[in-house]
Structure 1
Amino acid sequence: MSAKARFMKKLQEQQPCHNGFANKGEADIAEFCQRMDQLQAQMTEWLDQTNIRIESSPALLSECLIGGKTFNVPAISLFYEERKIKFTPVFLYAQGVTGGVDVTFCPEGRAIPLRRLFMRSAEDSKNWTCNPADRPAASRSPFNEDTFFETIDCLLPDE
C-alpha cells in the first residue's frame, strides 16, 4: 500500500460515518443500488406507452478497493421483440468516477458495447454521465433523455 493510500485510509477512518453506514464503501454501495433503481424508474417513464419491456436482475460485483467485498447491484435489461440492451453494473470505483455501468446491445447472442455510464464523476457528482464505448477517453456528457434514446435506437430493426 502506498503512503498516499495509507494516509487516505487513515483520514477516512477519522471521519464520522454518515447515514448509519459503517464506512464510505457501504454508503456508496447503497447509493449505487438506489441510483440504479431510480434509473430504471426513469427509463420506465421515458418508455411509457411503448412495447419495450424492462426487467431488473441482480449483478454481482466484487470491489478490490473495499477489501474484495462482494455485493449485488440491480442490472437493467430492455427488450424489444428478439433484441436486448443490457445496463450492467461493472465497478464501484475507478479513477475519478464512482458507479460504472456498461451498456451493451445483445443481438443474436453477440455483445456490442454502446456506452459506459458513471453514477458520479468529476464532471457531475449528482447526475449520470456517459462516454461512448468506442471512445473511453472522450469527455463525459450527461446521460439524459436524448442520450438514452440515441443509445437504445439499435433496439429497433432497420427497415
Structure 2
Amino acid sequence: MVDLLRGLVGVAVDHVSTWSDAYGYDIAMTAAAGVGHFEVKATVRRGQAVIYLSRNEFETMQRDPAWSLIMVRLRPDLAPCELSTVPTGWLAAQMPIDRTMLGRWESCRVSVPSEVLVKGVAAVVPLVQEATSPLLTGVFAEVNASSLAIQGS
C-alpha cells in the first residue's frame, strides 16, 4: 500500500510503523486537501479475515478522524489484489470492555466477515488530485499482475 500511495501526485507518504509503533497506525499520508492515517492488515484468505488490533490502534481510531483500517487481500504470490476498508463503527462495536480497574485488554482478535468490508480506500480519494488506482477506489473485479505493475509505477 505504501508504494501505491507514493505513486500518487501531490501526496507525501510516511511509513511510520517502520520506525515507531506509538502512532497507532502504519502509514501517514499528507496532501493539500488533508491527511489520512492507515492501519494496514493483510490476508491471503477470501471471505472472513482474522486480524489482531492493539489497544493503542483502537484508542487512536477513537480519537483520530483521519484513521482507517485497511484490509489488503493478497494473491498466493503475495501481490495485492484487493483493498478494503473496515468501517470504524463496526470495528468499535466488536471491541471488548474493561470490566474492572484490575483488568485491561491490550490486544483483540477480530473476525471480519467479507460483507462488512467496503471495497477500496475511500479516505484517499478526496485527498488526491488525479484518478486513482482501482485498488484504492474499489472499482475493479480482480486485478491482475500486469495492471498492478502499471498502477504502481
TM-score by shorter chain over 0.5: no
Rg bigger for which structure? 1
Higher relative contact order (Cα pairs below 8 Å, separated by 6+ residues): 2
Normalised by the shorter chain, which TM-score bucket? under 0.3
TM-score normalised by structure 2 residue count: 0.26
